[in-house]
Amino acid sequence: MFIYHGQTLVNKDTEWGAKWLPPEMKQPPAAQMAAAWGQLVGGVALALGLLTRLAALGLIAVMAGTIALFHWEHGFDIRNHGYEYNVAIIAMCLVLVLTGPGKVALDHVFFRRRTPVG
């Protein structure tokens, strides 16, 4: 989901993520790029199980920003474009922050604890 949405925001038409919001939203290009690239890179990292806790924490920040900028005024109910779905995503990412990667994650390949020799 993060990869899909991130890649739709990061392309030549949006100036690689800098201009995907309508002009009336007036969010700085740097904030737009952070949200777009955060979703794409964070999604890839979660899919691979690479830097799992950091990626999940970054995606929590992206979702919190999305709630603040777009969904808060609509309330909780998703049927009214509310933030219900974003809260569910935050909860899922929070589980990854607290529990860490699964057994097949690349984190275990690159960051495993080495036992001392001798």
* Count of the separate structural domains present in the chain: 1
Global pTM value: 0.85
Q: Is residue 32 part of a domain?
A: yes
At 114 the pLDDT is 67
Long-range pairs of 20-29 with CB within 8 A, sequence gap ≥ 24: 25/69, 27/69
Q: Is residue 118 part of a domain?
A: no
* pLDDT one digit per residue (tens) for the chain, 118 residues: 899 988 888 887 878 777 777 777 778 888 888 889 999 999 999 999 999 999 999 999 999 998 998 899 999 999 999 999 999 999 999 999 999 999 999 998 888 776 667 6
How many Cβ atoms are within 10 Å of 113's Cβ, its own excluded? 5
Q: Is residue 117 part of a domain?
A: no
Q: Which domain holds residue 47?
A: 2-110
